[in-house]
Amino acid sequence: AKAWHLTRRPSALPTMEHFALRDLPDDPLQENQLRVRNLWLSVDPYMRGRMNDAKSYTASFQIDQPMTGGAIGEVVESRMEGFAPGDLILHMGGWRDGGVIGLDMAPFKLPAEALAAGMAPQTFLHNMGLTGGTAWIGLLRVAAAKAGDTVFVSAAAGAVGSAVVQIAKAREMTVIGAAGGAEKCAWVRELGADAAVDYKAGPVLDGLSDALRTLGKPGIDVYFDNVGGDHLDAAFATANDFARFAICGMIDVYNDGHPQEMKYLIRAIPARIRMEGFIYTDQFFDCMEEFYADMGNLIASGAVTMRETVRDGIESAPEAFLGLFAGANIGKMLVRL
Ligand code: NDP
pLDDT tens by residue, the chain, 337 residues: 999 999 999 999 999 999 999 999 988 999 999 999 999 999 999 999 999 998 888 899 999 999 999 999 999 999 999 999 999 999 999 999 999 999 999 999 999 999 999 999 999 999 999 999 999 999 999 999 999 999 999 999 999 999 999 999 999 999 999 999 999 999 999 999 999 999 999 999 999 999 999 999 999 999 999 999 999 999 999 999 999 999 999 999 999 999 999 999 999 999 999 999 999 999 999 999 999 999 999 999 999 999 999 999 999 999 999 999 999 999 999 999 9
Domain with residue 195: its CATH number is 3.40.50.720
d(C-alpha 169, C-alpha 147), whole Å: 9
3-state secondary structure of 175: strand
Residues in the ligand 1 pocket, defined by CB under 6 Å = 44-46, 130-131, 134, 155, 157-161, 179-180, 184, 226-227, 248-249, 251-252, 278-280, 324-325, 327, 329, 333
Residue 240 lies in a domain: yes
Residue 294 forms part of a structural domain: no
Answer whether residue 297 is part of any domain.
no
Residue 135 lies in domain: 130-280
Residues 52 and 145 in one domain: no
Classify residue 6: in a domain, yes or no: yes
**Statement to judge: residues 147 and 253 lie in one domain:** yes
**Helix (H/G/I), strand (E/B), else coil: 150:** strand
Atom of ligand 1 nearest to the CA of 178: 47
Same domain? 163 vs 271: yes
Q: Is the pTM of this model over 0.90?
A: yes
Tell me which H or E stretch contains 179: strand 174-179
Give distance in angstroms: CA of 227 to centre of ligand 1.
6
In a domain? residue 295? no
Q: Give the Cα-Cα-Cα angle 104, 130, 251 (nearest 5 degrees).
A: 110
Q: What phi and psi values does residue 318 have, to the nearest 5 degrees?
A: -65, -40
Residue 287 lies in a domain: no
**Please, what is the Cα angle at 199 between 196 and 202, to 5 degrees?**
110
Q: Read off the amino acid at residue 140.
A: L
Give the ipTM of the model, two decimals please.
0.99
The answer to the question of residue 248 being in a domain is yes
Atom of ligand 1 nearest to the CA of 157: 47
187 and 145 within one domain: yes
| Total number of domains constituting the chain | 2
CA distances from 132 to 39, 202, 291 (A): 20, 29, 9
Whose CA is closest to atom 14 on ligand 1? 325
The three-point CA angle 33-37-39 to 5° equals 130
The answer to whether residue 67 sits within a structural domain is yes
Do both 69 and 135 map to the same domain? Answer: no
On whether both 140 and 122 belong to a single domain, the answer is no
Considering the domain architecture, whether residues 147 and 263 belong to the same structural domain is answered as yes
| Residue to probe by mutation, ligand 1, list 128, 187, 226, 253, most atoms within 8 Å of CB | 226
Distance 254 CA to ligand 1 centre (A): 10
Q: Are residues 122 and 134 in the same domain?
A: no
Which distant-in-sequence residues (6+ apart) come within 8 Å of 136 by Cβ? 163, 167, 291, 294, 295
